[in-house]
Structure 1
């Protein structure tokens, strides 16, 4: 997981508007999840992330694959679910996320999948708290089906640590 943390920190640094006063820290590891905090002035961001435990599908190569759940209190943004597939999704396709007996549908943009709205983000977070694992099914731009399995072990503790780090209840 240390290599994953290093790669994720690099990706987050590249993806966020960073300033010289930015201070990113790893809050801790909780089971299969890692908690991060980025303090850039008043614009604090806290997020948790994990890699899949199992990746299935017919593909020649695949980039980094992970899920992040992000909260930005100053923007009143909470529990934003983001899935990085490690490949470009089929245009106008959707991704299915199954947790226990619930299925959530996400929209895709390039190699990323997002919830359609904040209500779905919050419902995903609640389902992840009570779940054991999460199956993610998507289709690449070449039509290849992938099914990734994420462990939810440690998610609840990571979620609580993320909220505490960002001053959320």
Structure 2
């Protein structure tokens, strides 16, 4: 299954954010490993970018549908927040570790979604992603399985530029 097919299947099966749960997102364009998606909210178009892992560890484990997305902050004029979305519920009290080319960021999980601990880290994560080559996400499932995901960052900068121009 291609990355694009996986992304479309993932979006069809999951509601990853309350802000778009009732909207019908559509694929706008694919930028290498990152897709640009849009939906209507309050009469305006909102865009976000999303990718699926190129590698999942450990092998032989049902990981569910995992993806990483960068979505706009409401009313923040061009600011985005990164989210790690897991195909399973994260272990309560655990931390999701995000690494971009050696820079580490911690995310706090709520059920199956992780956000940065501090809002100020959002820009740092996105800037690191735009300058980096790969992103790694490490998480622990509710059952205690330690998982690792590798995402290619090829296309993320182009996708974010298009998202910023979204109307």
**TM-score when scaled to structure 1?**
0.85
Which whole-Å deviations, capped at 9, do the CAs of 1:89-132 have from their partners, x for residues lacking one? 11110011111121000001111111123211111100000000
Q: Are positions 1:83 and 2:79 aligned together?
A: no
Q: Are positions 1:145 and 2:151 aligned together?
A: no
Q: Are positions 1:28 and 2:29 aligned together?
A: yes
Change (3 A) 1:164 1:12: farther
Partners of 2:4 and 2:35 within 8 A in 1: no
Which whole-Å deviations, capped at 9, do the CAs of 1:121-146 have from their partners, x for residues lacking one? 11110000000001111111111111
Q: Are positions 1:4 and 2:21 aligned together?
A: no
- Secondary structure of 1:165's match? coil
Decide which moves more: 125-134 or 39-48. Answer: 39-48
Q: Partner residue of 1:119?
A: 120
Q: How many equivalent residue pairs?
A: 162
Mapped partners of 2:11, 2:138: distance in 1: 25
- Secondary structure of 2:165's match? helix
**TM-score when scaled to structure 2?**
0.86
Compare the two structures and name the one with the higher helix fraction: 1
**Runs of 4+ residues deviating >4 angstroms:** 12-15
Which whole-Å deviations, capped at 9, do the CAs of 1:36-75 have from their partners, x for residues lacking one? 11122345321000000000026642211001100155x3
Mapped partners of 2:84, 2:16: distance in 1: 17
Unaligned runs of 5+ in 2: none
Q: Partner residue of 1:41?
A: 42
Unaligned runs of 5+ in 1: none
Partners of 2:45 and 2:166 within 8 A in 1: no
Change (3 A) 1:157 1:14: closer
